[in-house]
Structure 1
Amino acid sequence: METLYFFSMLTIAIIISRTPLRYPFQWMETFFHEFSHGLACILTFGRIHRITLEFNGAGCCSTYGGWRIPILLAGYTGAVTWGAVIYLAGWSLSVSEDIFLLQLLMSVLTVSTIFWVRNLKTLFIIAIMILVFWLPTLLPNTSIPAYAIEFYGIYVVQSAITAPLALIDGKHVGDGADLADITLIFPEGIWIALWFIYALATTFWLWQITIPASERLTEYIHWLPLL
């Protein structure tokens, strides 16, 4: 039953990603991508100048200082990780904790707006995301907040699976191209593949950890432990 639930949620997210209803959730993935760039910059002693979001799901985090390699790595990796953490929170927390998490996410968006948003378009997009996070809190005595959190999380994860593939355009522009130029270790395609594999592995891990231990494939794959 848990496997059916997980893949039903994932399927719904994929279907919605093909409709106009995708935009608020696509903006979430973009925000967590850009916020992760910014957080990596802060953690490596840089600072964020501004975060910009576009209606089409594009975004930009302008930073000063910091260590470029972890900053560049953090975008796609961070979006997947945020999505996974949010999904697991919805799966494991109590109703009151779900409400607190939604309020915390709204607070993150609000603080980011105060410090790093500099245009009306981004302000409008973030306001819509805050509204989407706020609506489930109107039903605190139901399972709606948990379902909503799980959906937000799995949508961000599935969106982040395909997001790095957009870099395969022959233009040598984006995080993968910048990493290739800075590190001189791997070409852009390898970085794209690593992000893609990480997203797929995270999706597999989410599925496995949210089903009974007796049903996990890792019962037979002893070299792939789960926490």
Structure 2
Amino acid sequence: MTKGLAHQDHEERARLLFGIALVSVVLWQTYIGSIILYPFTILATWFHEMGHGIGAIVTGSQFERLLIFPDGSGVAMSLRPSDGFRVTDAFIAASGPLGPAIAGALLIIASRSARATRIALLVLGGALVVSTVIWVRSLTGWIFLPAMGLGILGLALRGSDSWQRFGIQLLGVQACISVWRQFDYLFSAGGSIGGTPQRSDTGAIADLLLLPYWFWGAVISAMTMALLWWSFRIAFRR
């Protein structure tokens, strides 16, 4: 009986998180929704730009700074060698939309145990605070990122097990779906960042590896959905 109730609870939690993800993606496409979800918008931008920055570090480039603008857009600036490989630049471009999905999947999987959940919350909260000190160079980032980081750290240190588990699952889902915050950016050749026209990530990948930007948008979306499905299967498997 207890096992059956636990299984039902896991299914209800999975449906709730899926519903939140779907509603968030839909709301992000509207003006009112973007205002309601503004804190999650800033968090999504941080996930995205940190993906670019970590991609740059992994490939031997220098992650210089991260800017988040009041409209929720952002940019990660890195110093890369002028004679670098095209595939390396493509990897850095893809790390923005794919990095958060990988991180989000790991956060969701961490919810399987109370200890892993607490560690994941401490790491994420600390990363928000530390990254602000090291890389963030914009007022919007300075205001929101440390506040969110401290809130997550507070949840890790003072929250109940159930709230910690739900919190890390929610944050993991938000990280995964952050790639769909702007469909018109993912499936376009370019967009506006801080009011300045700029090539989109998928447009940059298309320039470097051929095939159109919409193809890479579809590939990134498929990989994100696969990561989300995989993490749910592991997190809610009993």
TM-score (norm. length: structure 1): 0.81
2:205 corresponds to which letter in structure 1? L
Q: Which amino acid aligns with 1:151?
A: L
- Supply the AA of the counterpart residue of 1:203: L
Amino acid at match of 2:96: G
SS of equivalent residue, structure 2 residue 72: coil
- The reply to whether residue 119 of structure 1 matches residue 138 of structure 2 is yes
1:42–1:48 contact (8 Å) kept in structure 2: yes
| Residue-pair matches, total | 210
> Structure 1, residues 185-213: CA drift from partner, whole Å, max 9, x if none?
21111111111111122222233333447
Is residue 201 from structure 1 mapped to residue 201 from structure 2 by the alignment?
no
Report the residue type matching 2:53 in the other structure. G
Alpha-carbon deviation of 1:167? 3.2
Aligned twin of 1:9: 17
User: Which of 164, 167, 177 is the matching residue for 2:203?
Assistant: 177
Aligned-pair Cα RMSD in Å: 2.4
Q: Which residue of 1 aligns with 2:196?
A: none
Counterpart CA distance in 1 for 2:233 and 2:206 is 33
Distance 2:136 2:113 in 1: 31
What runs of 5+ residues in structure 2 fail to find an aligned partner?
1-7, 28-32, 82-87, 192-198
CA distance in 2, matches of 1:21, 1:128: 17
1:170 positional shift: 5.7
Residue 88 of structure 1 is matched in structure 2 by 109
Q: Is the 8 A contact 1:37 1:74 kept in 2?
A: yes
1:166 partnered with 2:181 = no
Match of 2:85 in 1: none
Inter-partner Cα distance in structure 1 for 2:14 and 2:184 = 24
1:212–1:43 distance in 2 versus 1, CA, 3 Å: closer
* 1:130-188 alpha-carbon deviations (Å, 9 max, x no partner): 133134235344421111111111122233245455333464821111111122x2111
Deviation at 1:40, TM superposition (A): 1.2
- Tell me whether 1:109 sits opposite 2:128 in the alignment: yes
Instruction: Quote the Cα distance in structure 1 between the aligned partners of 2:162 and 2:112.
Output: 12
Could you say which residue in structure 1 is the equivalent of 2:158?
139
Q: What SS does structure 2 have at the residue aligned with 1:27? A: helix
Q: Distance in 2 between matches of 1:12 and 1:180?
A: 32
Letter in 2 for 1:39: I
Q: Judge conservation of contact 2:42–2:144 (CA < 8 Å) in 1.
A: yes
Correspondence list, 1:46-57, <5 A: 46-57=61-72
Task: Give me the whole-angstrom Cα distance separating, in 2, the residues matched to 1:194 and 1:30.
Answer: 20
Aligned 8 A contact 1:76 1:164 in 2: no
2-structure distance, mates of 1:146, 1:42: 31
Q: 1:126 to 1:54 in 2, by over 3 A?
A: same
Aligned to 2:37: 22
Alignment-derived partner of residue 225 in structure 1:
none
Could you tell me which residue of structure 2 aligns to residue 34 of structure 1? 49
Aligned partners of 2:189, 2:133: CA distance in 1, in Å? 37
Does the 8 Å CA contact 1:14/1:155 hold for their aligned counterparts?
no
Instruction: Tell me what 2:84 maps to.
Output: none
Structure 1 residues 191 and 78, CA gap change in structure 2 (3 angstroms): same
Counterpart check, 1:148 vs 2:167? yes
2:93 is matched with: 72
Moved more, 141-150 or 40-49: 141-150
AA matched with 2:230: W
In structure 2, C-alpha distance between the alignment counterparts of 1:34 and 1:121, rounded to whole Å:
14
